[in-house]
Chains A and B, each alone.
Chain A
Amino acid sequence: MTEPITTMPSPFRMDYTYVAGTGRSVFLRGLAERRLMARCCAGCEQVYLPPPEFCSRCLRELEPPFELDGRGVVSTFCVVSFPFPGQRIDPPYVVAHIQPHGAGTRLMHLVREVEPEDVHIGMAVEPVWVSDDELDTSLLSIRHFRPVHYGGADA
């Protein structure tokens, strides 16, 4: 007689305020100035990047922030090879775990300016920052990482 009701859309909208926290805001402010700010725990000598306010191992406040140059190595990576919603660049592209020199933690970021098939574990990389007008308190202030070309300032 009548069609059964099989689905019923029930849209929700929820808006949130995210709190950065004092520890994280040091890092975010640094990004807006092209600076990667790390902090060290005096208890276990772990260097956190990004740094929280406390060392979870030792339950103590971290030491004052200091700057790292962001150069590091690819500890591992994958090549995103297919399109899906939310992408900002066309596949294929490389998403890598980067181990910055001097940091005890890893950052996840894009590796570009190199063919995906030429990326390898252990490859030396450096951050490429956005232009002045695009700088923001966000990891997107680093556009991506690229291979370090030794043998000249800009070679």
Chain B
Amino acid sequence: MRDVAVVSFAQSPCQAANRRDDMADILLPVIREAVYAAGIGRDDVDFVVSGSHDFYEGRTFSYIESLDAVGAWPPISESHVESDAAWALAEAWSWLQLGEGDIALVYGIGRGSLPADLDQVVPAQLDPYFLAPLAPHRDAIAGLQAHAAIEAGLTSEQGMAEVVVRCLDAATGNPLAQRSGQVDVARLLDAPYVSSPLREHDVAPIGDAAAVVVLAADDAARRLAERPAWVRGLDHRMDTHYPGVRDLTTSPSTRRAVGRAAELAGFTTSDVDIAELHTEYSHQEAILTNALELNGAVVNPSGGPLAGRPVTATGLIRIGEAARQIRDGNADRALAHATSGQALQQNLVCLLEGDG
């Protein structure tokens, strides 16, 4: 395996609704920041791969608009995933293993604010014959999962509120967070349910942002970053689709992904100092912590998705944030997690390490 590292990461501020900038205007300054931070020019990039989704943008081929922003001239080697850009990073990491190039640019852009009502959009992610026609509320399946998690003794409404308090407090140190501040558990528990047992604060606030990660291999990584965040292991797995068939209190795909990632990395999650988890709901932290067998790691020091969830960029931001902790010397080993689908159906795990 080639050694591949995150050498640079940038993101735009998470905004509930950015009505000033179009896709290109959100994305280009972030690409510029990430590329310049790595000390390279656009033409030094050997491979570009991105993640976005037409259902959020409300038009077909929306990804071509973002690509025009990146500029593909002279022609580039390029690919795209129609899902969270963490999967784009996985593709870039695979591509760098081929040895055909040394530097890959990964970007994710998502605007959750464009759909007038996400309840119209989110059910389209379900089986079109049996589930989508039920048109469940966007948080309904997560509510079922939260309830099951509480019943299983994994967490409680109090415990979920405590996760939110911790994340929003951590987010006060993150100027790009959408939501942050000191709140108290009792006040949170006074709020009404949106999809019981979930309250508004339990739901990661959807919004708009772009994120960009520059990956580099071997000597290029050592040249471009003082302390590269080496991707030591990466894997992703899928669970069955049907919520009625799954045990929603566990995440077998996460467990499998972390097992494989740890095998590649040569270290386990008990060795990681920090973990950035793609928690779309507060109760999912308990499920993921179990599946990942996290032991003492600081979870979501950036504030995590509960402080801001730009669709299709949130997972990539987890990897960028975990890498930042290593590059800044705050951690030697870090874990990043990304998810796609309802109630954690598909999960990705990335293990990162700094030079000793």
Contact = CB atoms under 8 A, between A and B. Distances in A.
Interface of A: 8, 10, 12-24, 52-57, 59-60
B194 to A, nearest CB: 21
A10 B22 contact: no
A16 B68 CA distance: 22
A20 B18 CA distance: 11
A147 B31 CA distance: 42
B25 A21 contact: yes
A57 B29 CA distance: 13
Interface in B19-74: 19-25, 28-29, 31-32, 35, 42, 55, 57-59, 68-71, 73
Contacts of A12: 120, 124
A76 B55 CA distance: 33
A39 to B, nearest CB: 13
Given A13-B120, A21-B24, A54 B114 contact: no
B173 interface: no
Contacts of A22: 20-21, 25
Interface of B: 17-25, 28-29, 31-32, 35, 42, 55, 57-59, 68-71, 73, 111, 113-117, 120-121, 124, 128-129, 132-133
Nearest to A20: B22
A17 B116 contact: yes
Given A21-B20, A54-B69, A15 B116 contact: yes
B68 A56 contact: yes
A22 B128 CA distance: 38
B73 A16 contact: no
Contacts of A56: 24, 28, 68-71, 73
A26 to B, nearest CB: 12
A8 B130 CA distance: 10
A95 to B, nearest CB: 19
B350 to A, nearest CB: 27
Contact of A59 (B22, B42, B59, B128): B42
A23 B70 contact: no
A52 B69 contact: yes
A59 B31 contact: yes
B188 to A, nearest CB: 30
B42 A19 contact: no
Contact of B129 (A8, A17, A21, A23): A8
5 contacts: A10-B132, A12-B124, A15-B116, A15-B117, A54-B29
Contacts of B55: 14
Nearest to B72: A56
